[in-house]
Amino acid sequence: MKKNIIIFLILIAVIFLIVFKKDEQNIFKEKYETDDVYYQIFVRSFADSDNDGIGDFNGISQNIDYFVDLGITGIYLMPIHPSPSYHGYDVLDYYDVNEDYGTLDDFENLVTVAHENEISIMIDLVINHTSDQHPWFLASRSFHNDDHEKYKDYYTWTDEDDERFGKLGAWNQNIWHSASGKYYAGYFSNQMPDLNMQNDDVIEEIRNIGEYWLNIGVDGFRLDAAMHIYGKNEVVMDDRTQENINFWKEFSIDMRLINEDVYIIGEVWTQSSVYADYFGGLDSVFNFELSDIIVNSAKTGRNDLYTYSINRLYNKFDEVRPDYIDATFLRNHDNDRIATVLNGDISRLKLAAEMQLMLPGVPFIYYGEELGMKGAKSNGPYYDETRRLPFIWADETKRTTWFNDSFNIDVEQAELQQNDEDSLYNTYKKLIDLRDSSIALKFGEFISWESDSSTLQGFFRYYSGDSYEEELIFVLHNIGKSDTAELAPDITGEIIYFSKGINNYNNVSLSKGSTLVIRLNPEDFETYLNK
Ligand code: CA
Protein backbone atom coordinates (compact mmCIF):
# COMPACT_ATOMS: atom_id res chain seq x y z
CA MET A 1 0.00 0.00 0.00
CA LYS A 2 2.78 2.38 0.99
CA LYS A 3 4.58 1.53 -2.26
CA ASN A 4 1.48 2.41 -4.26
CA ILE A 5 1.26 5.79 -2.59
CA ILE A 6 4.89 6.50 -3.43
CA ILE A 7 4.36 5.49 -7.06
CA PHE A 8 1.25 7.64 -7.13
CA LEU A 9 3.13 10.64 -5.73
CA ILE A 10 5.97 10.20 -8.22
CA LEU A 11 3.43 10.04 -11.03
CA ILE A 12 1.79 13.26 -9.85
CA ALA A 13 5.20 14.93 -9.62
CA VAL A 14 6.12 13.84 -13.17
CA ILE A 15 2.82 15.09 -14.57
CA PHE A 16 3.27 18.36 -12.71
CA LEU A 17 6.79 18.76 -14.08
CA ILE A 18 5.69 18.06 -17.65
CA VAL A 19 2.80 20.50 -17.46
CA PHE A 20 4.85 23.15 -15.70
CA LYS A 21 7.78 22.83 -18.12
CA LYS A 22 5.47 23.00 -21.14
CA ASP A 23 3.85 26.09 -19.73
CA GLU A 24 7.22 27.76 -19.18
CA GLN A 25 8.36 26.93 -22.70
CA ASN A 26 5.24 28.31 -24.30
CA ILE A 27 5.42 31.69 -22.65
CA PHE A 28 8.34 32.91 -24.74
CA LYS A 29 9.18 33.09 -28.40
CA GLU A 30 11.56 30.39 -29.59
CA LYS A 31 15.08 31.72 -29.79
CA TYR A 32 15.90 29.77 -32.92
CA GLU A 33 12.88 31.14 -34.79
CA THR A 34 13.78 34.74 -34.14
CA ASP A 35 16.32 35.88 -36.71
CA ASP A 36 14.65 39.16 -37.65
CA VAL A 37 16.45 42.43 -38.21
CA TYR A 38 14.14 45.23 -37.12
CA TYR A 39 13.94 48.80 -38.36
CA GLN A 40 12.43 51.41 -36.05
CA ILE A 41 10.27 54.03 -37.76
CA PHE A 42 8.81 57.30 -36.60
CA VAL A 43 5.89 57.32 -39.05
CA ARG A 44 5.56 61.12 -39.13
CA SER A 45 9.13 61.37 -40.43
CA PHE A 46 9.58 58.44 -42.77
CA ALA A 47 7.80 58.87 -46.11
CA ASP A 48 4.92 61.02 -47.35
CA SER A 49 2.48 59.57 -49.88
CA ASP A 50 -0.10 62.36 -50.19
CA ASN A 51 2.02 65.47 -50.29
CA ASP A 52 0.89 66.98 -46.98
CA GLY A 53 4.44 66.86 -45.62
CA ILE A 54 3.60 64.25 -42.98
CA GLY A 55 4.80 60.67 -43.14
CA ASP A 56 2.09 58.05 -43.40
CA PHE A 57 1.31 54.33 -43.63
CA ASN A 58 1.04 54.44 -47.44
CA GLY A 59 4.46 56.08 -47.56
CA ILE A 60 5.88 53.03 -45.80
CA SER A 61 3.91 50.55 -47.95
CA GLN A 62 5.00 52.27 -51.16
CA ASN A 63 8.64 52.11 -50.11
CA ILE A 64 8.65 48.51 -48.95
CA ASP A 65 11.38 47.80 -51.55
CA TYR A 66 13.74 49.91 -49.47
CA PHE A 67 13.49 47.47 -46.58
CA VAL A 68 13.69 44.44 -48.83
CA ASP A 69 16.85 45.85 -50.41
CA LEU A 70 18.45 46.53 -47.03
CA GLY A 71 17.53 43.07 -45.74
CA ILE A 72 15.09 44.23 -43.05
CA THR A 73 12.61 41.57 -41.88
CA GLY A 74 10.75 43.51 -39.20
CA ILE A 75 9.44 47.04 -38.88
CA TYR A 76 8.78 48.57 -35.47
CA LEU A 77 6.41 51.53 -35.70
CA MET A 78 6.47 54.16 -32.98
CA PRO A 79 2.96 55.03 -31.73
CA ILE A 80 0.30 54.90 -34.46
CA HIS A 81 -2.75 55.84 -32.40
CA PRO A 82 -4.64 59.16 -32.28
CA SER A 83 -2.86 61.51 -29.89
CA PRO A 84 -2.74 65.21 -29.06
CA SER A 85 1.07 65.19 -29.27
CA TYR A 86 3.32 65.00 -32.33
CA HIS A 87 5.08 61.88 -30.95
CA GLY A 88 2.00 59.91 -29.97
CA TYR A 89 3.15 58.63 -26.58
CA ASP A 90 -0.14 59.81 -25.02
CA VAL A 91 -2.92 57.83 -26.64
CA LEU A 92 -6.50 59.03 -27.19
CA ASP A 93 -7.94 55.85 -28.70
CA TYR A 94 -6.27 52.43 -28.65
CA TYR A 95 -8.57 51.07 -31.33
CA ASP A 96 -7.86 53.58 -34.07
CA VAL A 97 -4.94 55.13 -35.93
CA ASN A 98 -3.69 58.70 -36.09
CA GLU A 99 -5.44 60.37 -39.04
CA ASP A 100 -2.19 62.18 -39.89
CA TYR A 101 -0.82 58.73 -40.78
CA GLY A 102 -3.84 57.51 -42.76
CA THR A 103 -6.81 55.28 -42.14
CA LEU A 104 -7.14 51.93 -40.47
CA ASP A 105 -7.50 50.49 -43.99
CA ASP A 106 -4.16 52.05 -44.92
CA PHE A 107 -2.61 50.45 -41.85
CA GLU A 108 -4.10 47.05 -42.66
CA ASN A 109 -2.78 47.42 -46.19
CA LEU A 110 0.68 48.13 -44.78
CA VAL A 111 0.48 44.94 -42.71
CA THR A 112 -0.54 43.01 -45.86
CA VAL A 113 2.21 44.51 -48.01
CA ALA A 114 4.79 43.90 -45.29
CA HIS A 115 3.73 40.29 -44.88
CA GLU A 116 3.84 39.73 -48.65
CA ASN A 117 7.48 40.77 -48.39
CA GLU A 118 8.14 38.58 -45.32
CA ILE A 119 8.44 41.61 -43.06
CA SER A 120 6.85 41.60 -39.61
CA ILE A 121 5.08 44.61 -38.15
CA MET A 122 5.57 45.55 -34.50
CA ILE A 123 3.73 48.45 -32.91
CA ASP A 124 4.43 50.56 -29.87
CA LEU A 125 2.02 49.70 -27.07
CA VAL A 126 1.83 52.66 -24.71
CA ILE A 127 -0.40 51.49 -21.92
CA ASN A 128 1.39 52.64 -18.79
CA HIS A 129 -0.55 55.87 -19.23
CA THR A 130 -3.10 57.45 -21.55
CA SER A 131 -3.60 60.99 -22.74
CA ASP A 132 -5.37 63.22 -20.21
CA GLN A 133 -7.92 63.70 -23.01
CA HIS A 134 -8.67 59.98 -23.26
CA PRO A 135 -12.40 59.31 -22.62
CA TRP A 136 -11.47 56.99 -19.74
CA PHE A 137 -9.65 59.79 -17.98
CA LEU A 138 -12.32 62.39 -18.72
CA ALA A 139 -14.83 60.00 -17.13
CA SER A 140 -12.48 59.15 -14.27
CA ARG A 141 -11.89 62.75 -13.28
CA SER A 142 -15.63 63.37 -13.14
CA PHE A 143 -16.13 60.45 -10.77
CA HIS A 144 -18.63 62.50 -8.75
CA ASN A 145 -20.98 61.71 -11.63
CA ASP A 146 -22.53 58.30 -10.88
CA ASP A 147 -22.53 57.37 -14.56
CA HIS A 148 -18.75 57.41 -14.48
CA GLU A 149 -18.36 55.28 -11.37
CA LYS A 150 -16.87 52.45 -13.44
CA TYR A 151 -13.98 54.64 -14.62
CA LYS A 152 -13.11 56.13 -11.25
CA ASP A 153 -10.56 53.41 -10.53
CA TYR A 154 -9.18 53.23 -14.06
CA TYR A 155 -6.55 55.66 -12.78
CA THR A 156 -4.85 56.06 -9.40
CA TRP A 157 -6.33 58.78 -7.21
CA THR A 158 -5.11 59.95 -3.82
CA ASP A 159 -5.68 62.77 -1.42
CA GLU A 160 -3.55 64.58 1.15
CA ASP A 161 -4.16 61.87 3.76
CA ASP A 162 -2.68 59.12 1.59
CA GLU A 163 0.77 57.84 2.57
CA ARG A 164 1.89 58.17 -1.08
CA PHE A 165 0.82 61.77 -1.41
CA GLY A 166 3.66 64.20 -2.17
CA LYS A 167 6.22 61.43 -2.64
CA LEU A 168 8.37 61.66 -5.76
CA GLY A 169 8.91 59.25 -8.65
CA ALA A 170 11.96 57.26 -9.71
CA TRP A 171 13.83 60.31 -11.03
CA ASN A 172 12.57 62.61 -8.27
CA GLN A 173 9.77 64.00 -10.39
CA ASN A 174 6.38 65.05 -9.11
CA ILE A 175 3.92 62.26 -9.90
CA TRP A 176 0.74 63.57 -8.24
CA HIS A 177 -1.38 66.03 -10.19
CA SER A 178 -4.41 67.95 -9.04
CA ALA A 179 -7.88 67.46 -10.55
CA SER A 180 -11.44 67.42 -9.25
CA GLY A 181 -10.29 68.10 -5.70
CA LYS A 182 -8.06 65.01 -5.63
CA TYR A 183 -4.69 63.96 -7.04
CA TYR A 184 -4.02 61.49 -9.83
CA ALA A 185 -0.80 59.66 -10.65
CA GLY A 186 0.99 60.76 -13.81
CA TYR A 187 4.51 59.44 -13.83
CA PHE A 188 5.68 61.22 -16.97
CA SER A 189 3.53 64.34 -16.86
CA ASN A 190 0.13 65.64 -15.84
CA GLN A 191 -0.93 65.10 -19.47
CA MET A 192 -0.13 61.40 -19.17
CA PRO A 193 -2.21 59.97 -16.31
CA ASP A 194 -1.14 56.45 -15.32
CA LEU A 195 -3.62 53.63 -15.73
CA ASN A 196 -4.36 51.75 -12.53
CA MET A 197 -2.97 48.27 -13.12
CA GLN A 198 -4.36 47.06 -9.83
CA ASN A 199 -7.80 47.23 -11.40
CA ASP A 200 -8.85 44.01 -13.16
CA ASP A 201 -11.10 45.94 -15.53
CA VAL A 202 -8.10 47.90 -16.78
CA ILE A 203 -6.04 44.73 -17.20
CA GLU A 204 -8.90 43.29 -19.23
CA GLU A 205 -8.97 46.42 -21.41
CA ILE A 206 -5.26 46.01 -22.14
CA ARG A 207 -5.69 42.38 -23.03
CA ASN A 208 -8.49 43.37 -25.43
CA ILE A 209 -6.33 46.05 -27.02
CA GLY A 210 -3.54 43.53 -27.62
CA GLU A 211 -5.99 41.01 -29.03
CA TYR A 212 -7.49 43.63 -31.36
CA TRP A 213 -4.13 44.45 -32.98
CA LEU A 214 -3.01 40.84 -33.18
CA ASN A 215 -6.26 40.06 -34.99
CA ILE A 216 -5.49 42.87 -37.45
CA GLY A 217 -2.22 41.09 -38.18
CA VAL A 218 0.35 42.86 -36.06
CA ASP A 219 3.24 40.51 -35.22
CA GLY A 220 4.59 42.04 -32.06
CA PHE A 221 4.58 44.76 -29.47
CA ARG A 222 7.20 47.11 -28.10
CA LEU A 223 6.11 47.91 -24.56
CA ASP A 224 6.71 51.50 -23.63
CA ALA A 225 7.80 52.34 -20.08
CA ALA A 226 7.52 48.67 -19.12
CA MET A 227 9.16 49.12 -15.72
CA HIS A 228 6.71 51.79 -14.59
CA ILE A 229 3.49 49.74 -14.66
CA TYR A 230 3.61 49.76 -10.87
CA GLY A 231 5.55 52.96 -10.32
CA LYS A 232 7.71 53.88 -7.37
CA ASN A 233 5.60 55.67 -4.73
CA GLU A 234 2.58 55.29 -6.98
CA VAL A 235 1.61 51.93 -5.56
CA VAL A 236 2.43 50.33 -2.24
CA MET A 237 4.09 46.99 -2.93
CA ASP A 238 6.85 44.87 -1.43
CA ASP A 239 8.53 44.09 -4.73
CA ARG A 240 7.43 46.38 -7.55
CA THR A 241 9.94 44.98 -10.03
CA GLN A 242 8.64 41.46 -9.60
CA GLU A 243 5.04 42.68 -9.88
CA ASN A 244 5.92 44.53 -13.11
CA ILE A 245 7.50 41.36 -14.49
CA ASN A 246 4.49 39.27 -13.44
CA PHE A 247 2.19 41.78 -15.13
CA TRP A 248 4.03 41.41 -18.46
CA LYS A 249 4.32 37.66 -18.08
CA GLU A 250 0.53 37.41 -17.79
CA PHE A 251 0.19 39.72 -20.79
CA SER A 252 2.66 37.59 -22.79
CA ILE A 253 0.76 34.42 -21.97
CA ASP A 254 -2.52 36.03 -23.07
CA MET A 255 -1.04 37.32 -26.33
CA ARG A 256 0.64 34.01 -27.13
CA LEU A 257 -2.72 32.27 -26.83
CA ILE A 258 -3.94 34.52 -29.66
CA ASN A 259 -0.78 34.36 -31.79
CA GLU A 260 1.84 31.82 -30.77
CA ASP A 261 4.46 33.61 -32.88
CA VAL A 262 4.01 37.03 -31.27
CA TYR A 263 7.25 38.80 -30.36
CA ILE A 264 7.11 41.04 -27.30
CA ILE A 265 9.89 43.40 -26.27
CA GLY A 266 10.02 45.76 -23.35
CA GLU A 267 11.60 49.16 -22.92
CA VAL A 268 13.14 48.88 -19.46
CA TRP A 269 15.47 51.83 -19.45
CA THR A 270 17.63 51.30 -16.40
CA GLN A 271 20.71 49.36 -15.35
CA SER A 272 21.17 45.78 -16.55
CA SER A 273 20.92 44.34 -13.04
CA VAL A 274 17.24 45.35 -13.18
CA TYR A 275 16.31 44.85 -16.82
CA ALA A 276 17.90 41.40 -16.88
CA ASP A 277 15.09 40.22 -14.62
CA TYR A 278 12.52 41.20 -17.25
CA PHE A 279 13.70 38.28 -19.39
CA GLY A 280 11.64 36.35 -16.87
CA GLY A 281 8.47 38.00 -18.18
CA LEU A 282 9.17 39.03 -21.78
CA ASP A 283 10.71 37.58 -24.94
CA SER A 284 13.17 40.44 -25.07
CA VAL A 285 14.25 43.68 -23.49
CA PHE A 286 16.33 46.37 -25.16
CA ASN A 287 19.95 46.03 -24.09
CA PHE A 288 20.65 49.61 -23.03
CA GLU A 289 24.04 48.93 -21.43
CA LEU A 290 25.26 47.11 -24.52
CA SER A 291 24.29 50.10 -26.67
CA ASP A 292 26.42 52.35 -24.47
CA ILE A 293 29.34 49.92 -24.56
CA ILE A 294 29.30 49.89 -28.37
CA VAL A 295 28.74 53.62 -28.82
CA ASN A 296 31.39 54.61 -26.25
CA SER A 297 33.93 52.16 -27.67
CA ALA A 298 33.32 53.43 -31.20
CA LYS A 299 33.65 56.98 -29.93
CA THR A 300 36.77 56.66 -27.78
CA GLY A 301 38.59 54.02 -29.82
CA ARG A 302 39.69 52.25 -26.66
CA ASN A 303 38.06 49.75 -24.37
CA ASP A 304 40.05 46.99 -22.70
CA LEU A 305 36.79 45.58 -21.44
CA TYR A 306 34.68 45.52 -24.62
CA THR A 307 34.40 41.73 -24.95
CA TYR A 308 34.52 41.20 -21.21
CA SER A 309 31.66 43.63 -20.47
CA ILE A 310 29.44 42.13 -23.14
CA ASN A 311 30.09 38.62 -21.88
CA ARG A 312 29.22 39.73 -18.38
CA LEU A 313 25.86 41.04 -19.58
CA TYR A 314 25.07 37.76 -21.33
CA ASN A 315 25.96 35.77 -18.22
CA LYS A 316 23.57 37.92 -16.23
CA PHE A 317 20.73 37.28 -18.71
CA ASP A 318 21.55 33.56 -18.83
CA GLU A 319 20.92 33.31 -15.11
CA VAL A 320 17.38 34.61 -15.59
CA ARG A 321 16.46 32.60 -18.69
CA PRO A 322 18.98 30.61 -20.74
CA ASP A 323 16.97 30.99 -23.96
CA TYR A 324 16.56 34.76 -23.62
CA ILE A 325 16.49 36.78 -26.85
CA ASP A 326 18.70 39.82 -26.63
CA ALA A 327 17.68 43.00 -28.49
CA THR A 328 20.53 45.20 -29.64
CA PHE A 329 20.46 48.80 -30.77
CA LEU A 330 22.86 51.70 -31.09
CA ARG A 331 20.53 54.62 -30.39
CA ASN A 332 16.79 55.17 -30.32
CA HIS A 333 14.32 58.05 -30.52
CA ASP A 334 15.19 59.14 -26.98
CA ASN A 335 18.93 59.46 -27.69
CA ASP A 336 21.04 61.81 -29.73
CA ARG A 337 21.74 60.05 -33.00
CA ILE A 338 24.96 58.07 -33.29
CA ALA A 339 26.13 60.05 -36.33
CA THR A 340 26.03 63.17 -34.16
CA VAL A 341 27.80 61.39 -31.31
CA LEU A 342 30.54 60.21 -33.71
CA ASN A 343 30.74 63.60 -35.48
CA GLY A 344 29.59 62.14 -38.78
CA ASP A 345 32.77 60.02 -39.12
CA ILE A 346 31.63 57.40 -41.63
CA SER A 347 34.39 54.91 -40.83
CA ARG A 348 33.50 55.01 -37.12
CA LEU A 349 29.80 54.67 -38.01
CA LYS A 350 30.65 51.59 -40.07
CA LEU A 351 32.55 50.18 -37.11
CA ALA A 352 29.56 50.75 -34.81
CA ALA A 353 27.32 48.92 -37.29
CA GLU A 354 29.82 46.06 -37.50
CA MET A 355 29.93 45.85 -33.72
CA GLN A 356 26.14 45.75 -33.35
CA LEU A 357 25.37 43.38 -36.18
CA MET A 358 27.97 40.73 -35.33
CA LEU A 359 26.48 40.24 -31.86
CA PRO A 360 23.68 37.82 -30.90
CA GLY A 361 20.06 38.85 -30.54
CA VAL A 362 17.56 40.78 -32.62
CA PRO A 363 19.10 44.01 -33.94
CA PHE A 364 17.00 47.19 -34.05
CA ILE A 365 18.15 49.89 -36.46
CA TYR A 366 16.76 53.37 -35.88
CA TYR A 367 15.55 54.82 -39.19
CA GLY A 368 18.26 56.81 -40.92
CA GLU A 369 21.00 55.27 -38.79
CA GLU A 370 22.00 53.31 -41.91
CA LEU A 371 22.53 56.64 -43.70
CA GLY A 372 24.42 58.40 -40.94
CA MET A 373 21.50 60.73 -40.28
CA LYS A 374 22.23 63.23 -37.54
CA GLY A 375 20.07 64.70 -34.83
CA ALA A 376 20.37 65.78 -31.22
CA LYS A 377 18.12 67.24 -28.60
CA SER A 378 18.17 70.97 -29.07
CA ASN A 379 18.12 73.58 -26.36
CA GLY A 380 15.54 75.53 -28.28
CA PRO A 381 11.77 75.46 -28.02
CA TYR A 382 11.59 71.81 -29.05
CA TYR A 383 11.55 68.61 -27.08
CA ASP A 384 12.85 65.58 -28.99
CA GLU A 385 11.81 66.51 -32.53
CA THR A 386 15.43 66.93 -33.55
CA ARG A 387 16.14 63.28 -32.73
CA ARG A 388 13.23 62.26 -34.97
CA LEU A 389 13.83 64.27 -38.11
CA PRO A 390 12.50 63.63 -41.64
CA PHE A 391 14.13 60.69 -43.40
CA ILE A 392 16.49 61.92 -46.09
CA TRP A 393 15.12 60.72 -49.40
CA ALA A 394 16.68 62.26 -52.50
CA ASP A 395 13.22 62.12 -54.06
CA GLU A 396 11.57 65.20 -52.57
CA THR A 397 8.08 63.90 -53.26
CA LYS A 398 8.66 61.26 -50.57
CA ARG A 399 10.36 63.50 -48.09
CA THR A 400 8.39 64.68 -45.08
CA THR A 401 8.54 68.36 -44.26
CA TRP A 402 6.71 68.55 -40.92
CA PHE A 403 9.93 69.71 -39.25
CA ASN A 404 12.70 71.84 -40.72
CA ASP A 405 15.90 69.79 -40.62
CA SER A 406 19.14 71.72 -40.36
CA PHE A 407 21.16 68.68 -39.24
CA ASN A 408 21.26 66.59 -42.41
CA ILE A 409 21.86 69.02 -45.25
CA ASP A 410 25.27 67.50 -46.03
CA VAL A 411 24.39 63.86 -45.39
CA GLU A 412 24.19 61.70 -48.52
CA GLN A 413 20.59 60.79 -49.25
CA ALA A 414 19.11 57.30 -49.31
CA GLU A 415 18.88 56.62 -53.05
CA LEU A 416 22.40 58.01 -53.59
CA GLN A 417 23.84 55.77 -50.88
CA GLN A 418 22.07 52.76 -52.35
CA ASN A 419 24.04 53.34 -55.54
CA ASP A 420 27.33 54.01 -53.76
CA GLU A 421 29.18 50.79 -53.06
CA ASP A 422 31.26 52.35 -50.24
CA SER A 423 28.32 53.99 -48.47
CA LEU A 424 27.29 53.38 -44.89
CA TYR A 425 23.99 52.05 -46.28
CA ASN A 426 25.83 49.33 -48.20
CA THR A 427 27.89 48.41 -45.14
CA TYR A 428 24.63 47.79 -43.26
CA LYS A 429 23.28 45.84 -46.21
CA LYS A 430 26.39 43.62 -46.38
CA LEU A 431 26.38 42.99 -42.63
CA ILE A 432 22.69 42.07 -42.61
CA ASP A 433 23.27 39.76 -45.56
CA LEU A 434 26.24 38.21 -43.76
CA ARG A 435 24.13 37.53 -40.66
CA ASP A 436 21.49 35.97 -42.83
CA SER A 437 24.04 33.59 -44.34
CA SER A 438 25.43 32.39 -41.02
CA ILE A 439 23.66 30.29 -38.41
CA ALA A 440 26.43 31.03 -35.91
CA LEU A 441 26.03 34.80 -36.37
CA LYS A 442 22.28 34.52 -35.96
CA PHE A 443 21.97 32.00 -33.17
CA GLY A 444 25.43 31.02 -32.03
CA GLU A 445 26.83 31.42 -28.56
CA PHE A 446 29.11 34.35 -27.79
CA ILE A 447 32.48 33.15 -26.52
CA SER A 448 35.11 35.66 -25.48
CA TRP A 449 38.50 35.81 -27.10
CA GLU A 450 41.01 36.85 -24.47
CA SER A 451 42.80 40.04 -25.40
CA ASP A 452 45.06 42.26 -23.35
CA SER A 453 44.76 45.00 -25.94
CA SER A 454 42.66 48.10 -25.44
CA THR A 455 41.89 48.34 -29.15
CA LEU A 456 41.85 44.79 -30.48
CA GLN A 457 38.71 43.07 -29.26
CA GLY A 458 37.30 39.81 -30.51
CA PHE A 459 34.99 36.91 -29.86
CA PHE A 460 33.78 33.65 -31.29
CA ARG A 461 30.25 32.85 -32.34
CA TYR A 462 29.59 29.15 -32.16
CA TYR A 463 26.51 27.19 -33.13
CA SER A 464 26.12 23.54 -32.41
CA GLY A 465 22.71 21.92 -32.26
CA ASP A 466 20.25 19.58 -33.88
CA SER A 467 18.57 22.09 -36.17
CA TYR A 468 21.52 23.25 -38.27
CA GLU A 469 25.07 22.32 -39.13
CA GLU A 470 27.78 23.23 -36.63
CA GLU A 471 29.45 26.54 -37.39
CA LEU A 472 32.28 28.57 -35.85
CA ILE A 473 32.92 32.24 -36.61
CA PHE A 474 35.60 34.56 -35.29
CA VAL A 475 34.90 38.30 -35.16
CA LEU A 476 37.73 40.75 -34.60
CA HIS A 477 37.41 44.53 -34.28
CA ASN A 478 40.25 46.96 -34.12
CA ILE A 479 38.30 49.67 -32.36
CA GLY A 480 41.40 51.88 -32.22
CA LYS A 481 41.90 55.16 -34.04
CA SER A 482 45.55 54.58 -34.80
CA ASP A 483 46.86 53.00 -37.99
CA THR A 484 49.52 51.27 -35.97
CA ALA A 485 47.57 48.14 -35.41
CA GLU A 486 48.59 45.71 -32.77
CA LEU A 487 49.31 42.11 -33.56
CA ALA A 488 46.27 40.18 -34.67
CA PRO A 489 45.85 36.59 -33.53
CA ASP A 490 47.09 33.77 -35.67
CA ILE A 491 43.70 32.54 -36.67
CA THR A 492 43.14 31.42 -40.22
CA GLY A 493 40.07 30.39 -42.08
CA GLU A 494 37.70 31.67 -44.70
CA ILE A 495 37.43 35.46 -44.56
CA ILE A 496 33.72 36.23 -44.91
CA TYR A 497 33.78 39.94 -44.08
CA PHE A 498 36.38 42.62 -44.26
CA SER A 499 35.80 46.36 -43.70
CA LYS A 500 36.16 47.83 -47.14
CA GLY A 501 38.58 50.57 -47.99
CA ILE A 502 40.43 50.88 -44.70
CA ASN A 503 41.61 47.39 -44.16
CA ASN A 504 44.65 45.27 -44.59
CA TYR A 505 44.61 41.91 -42.87
CA ASN A 506 47.54 39.62 -43.38
CA ASN A 507 47.45 37.59 -40.17
CA VAL A 508 49.64 40.19 -38.55
CA SER A 509 47.78 43.44 -38.33
CA LEU A 510 44.31 44.89 -38.55
CA SER A 511 44.10 48.56 -39.40
CA LYS A 512 42.20 51.18 -37.41
CA GLY A 513 38.45 51.03 -36.97
CA SER A 514 38.11 47.87 -38.97
CA THR A 515 36.45 44.51 -38.59
CA LEU A 516 37.36 41.06 -39.78
CA VAL A 517 35.07 38.05 -39.74
CA ILE A 518 36.45 34.57 -40.36
CA ARG A 519 34.68 31.25 -40.65
CA LEU A 520 36.76 28.62 -38.89
CA ASN A 521 36.79 24.87 -38.85
CA PRO A 522 34.84 23.94 -35.70
CA GLU A 523 37.20 21.00 -35.17
CA ASP A 524 39.99 23.47 -34.42
CA PHE A 525 37.99 25.28 -31.74
CA GLU A 526 39.86 23.75 -28.80
CA THR A 527 43.16 24.88 -30.27
CA TYR A 528 42.01 28.47 -30.60
CA LEU A 529 40.57 28.59 -27.12
CA ASN A 530 43.82 27.38 -25.63
CA LYS A 531 45.87 30.05 -27.33
CA1 CA B 1 1.16 62.33 -45.67
pLDDT of 427-449, one tens digit each?
999 999 999 999 999 999 999 99
222 has pLDDT over 70: yes
Cα pseudo-dihedral 16, 22, 26, 29, rounded to 10: 130
**What are the C-alpha distances in Å from 9 to residues 6, 16, 20, 300?**
5, 10, 16, 61
Indicate the range of 387-391, 412-416, 418-422, 453-457 predicted with least confidence. Answer: 453-457
State which amino acid sits at residue 78. Answer: M
Q: How far is the CA of 382 from the centre of ligand 1 (A)?
A: 22
- Overall average pLDDT of the 300-323 stretch: 96
Return the biggest CA–CA distance within the chain.
86
For 448-482, the pLDDT digits (tens) are: 998 878 899 999 999 998 888 999 999 999 999 98
Distance (Å, whole) CA 13 – CA 6 = 10
CATH number, domain 135-185: 3.90.400
SS3 (DSSP) at 515: strand
- Overall average pLDDT of the 17-46 stretch: 81
Distance (Å, whole) CA 324 – CA 339 = 30
State how beta strands 284-285 and 263-266 pair: parallel
DSSP string, 231-282: -TTTS--S-HHHHHHHHHHHHHHHHHHH-TT-EEEE---S-HHHHGGGGGTS
Q: Which pLDDT value is given to residue 147? A: 72
Confidence of residue 531 (pLDDT cuts 50, 70, 90): low
Q: What residues act catalytically?
A: 224, 267
Q: How far is the CA of 52 from the centre of ligand 1 (A)?
A: 5
Q: Which residues contact 52 (CB under 8 A, 6 or more apart)?
A: none
Q: How far is the CA of 57 from the centre of ligand 1 (A)?
A: 8
Q: How far is the CA of 123 from the centre of ligand 1 (A)?
A: 19
Q: Which pLDDT value is given to residue 13? A: 65
Q: Which residue has the higher pLDDT, 498 or 93?
A: 93
Q: Which pLDDT value is given to residue 73? A: 98
Confidence of residue 502 (pLDDT cuts 50, 70, 90): low
Distance (Å, whole) CA 37 – CA 432 = 8
For 128-139, the pLDDT digits (tens) are: 999 999 999 999
Average pLDDT, the chain: 92
- Overall average pLDDT of the 309-318 stretch: 98
Q: How far is the CA of 101 from the centre of ligand 1 (A)?
A: 6
Q: What is the percent of the chain with per-residue pLDDT over 90, rounded to a whole number?
A: 81
Indicate the range of 74-78, 202-206, 494-498, 509-513 predicted with least confidence. Answer: 509-513
Indicate the range of 182-186, 226-230, 494-498 predicted with least confidence. Answer: 494-498
501 has pLDDT over 60: no
184: which DSSP letter?
E
**What are the C-alpha distances in Å from 280 to residues 33, 207, 264, 265?**
19, 19, 12, 12
Q: Which pLDDT value is given to residue 524? A: 87
Q: Which residue has the higher pLDDT, 24 or 483?
A: 483
Q: Which pLDDT value is given to residue 22? A: 46
Q: Do the Cβ atoms of 346 and 411 come closer than 8 Å?
A: no
Q: How far is the CA of 240 from the centre of ligand 1 (A)?
A: 42
State which amino acid sits at residue 283. Answer: D
Q: Which pLDDT value is given to residue 26? A: 76
Q: How far is the CA of 40 from the centre of ligand 1 (A)?
A: 18
Helix/strand/coil percent split, the chain, to 5: 40, 15, 45
111 has pLDDT over 60: yes
Q: Which pLDDT value is given to residue 143? A: 77
User: Domain residues of the chain, as ranges?
Assistant: 1-31, 33-128+195-436, 135-185, 444-529
Distance (Å, whole) CA 510 – CA 476 = 9
Q: How far is the CA of 377 from the centre of ligand 1 (A)?
A: 25
- Overall average pLDDT of the 297-321 stretch: 97
Q: Which residue has the higher pLDDT, 484 or 358?
A: 358
**What are the C-alpha distances in Å from 76 to residues 36, 265, 354, 484?**
11, 11, 21, 41
Q: Which pLDDT value is given to residue 387? A: 97
505 has pLDDT over 70: no
Please state the φ and ψ torsions of residue 295, each to the nearest 5 degrees. -65, -45
Q: How far is the CA of 81 from the centre of ligand 1 (A)?
A: 15
Cβ count within 10 A of residue 248: 22
For 168-202, the pLDDT digits (tens) are: 998 999 999 999 899 999 999 999 999 999 999 99
pTM (predicted TM-score): 0.94
Distance (Å, whole) CA 429 – CA 155 = 46
State which amino acid sits at residue 231. Answer: G
Q: How far is the CA of 51 from the centre of ligand 1 (A)?
A: 6
How distant is the alpha carbon of residue 212 from its chain centre?
Answer: 22
Q: Do the Cβ atoms of 458 and 449 come closer than 8 Å?
A: yes
Q: How far is the CA of 401 from the centre of ligand 1 (A)?
A: 10
For 429-460, b where at least 16 C-beta lie within 10 A, e where not — what string? bbbbebbeebbbbbbbebbbbebebbbbbbbb
- Overall average pLDDT of the 283-287 stretch: 98
**With helix as H, strand as E and coil as C, how does 209-232 read?**
HHHHHHHHCCCEEEECCHHHCCCC
- Overall average pLDDT of the 87-96 stretch: 98
Q: Which pLDDT value is given to residue 196? A: 97
Cβ count within 10 A of residue 78: 23
Q: Which fold has domain 33-128+195-436?
A: TIM Barrel (3.20.20)
15 has pLDDT over 70: no
- Overall average pLDDT of the 210-239 stretch: 96
Distance (Å, whole) CA 342 – CA 411 = 14
Q: How far is the CA of 212 from the centre of ligand 1 (A)?
A: 25
How distant is the alpha carbon of residue 211 from its chain centre?
Answer: 21
289 has pLDDT over 90: yes
Task: Tell me the CATH class for 444-529.
Answer: mainly beta
Indicate the range of 4-18, 231-245, 298-312 predicted with least confidence. Answer: 4-18
Distance (Å, whole) CA 372 – CA 353 = 11
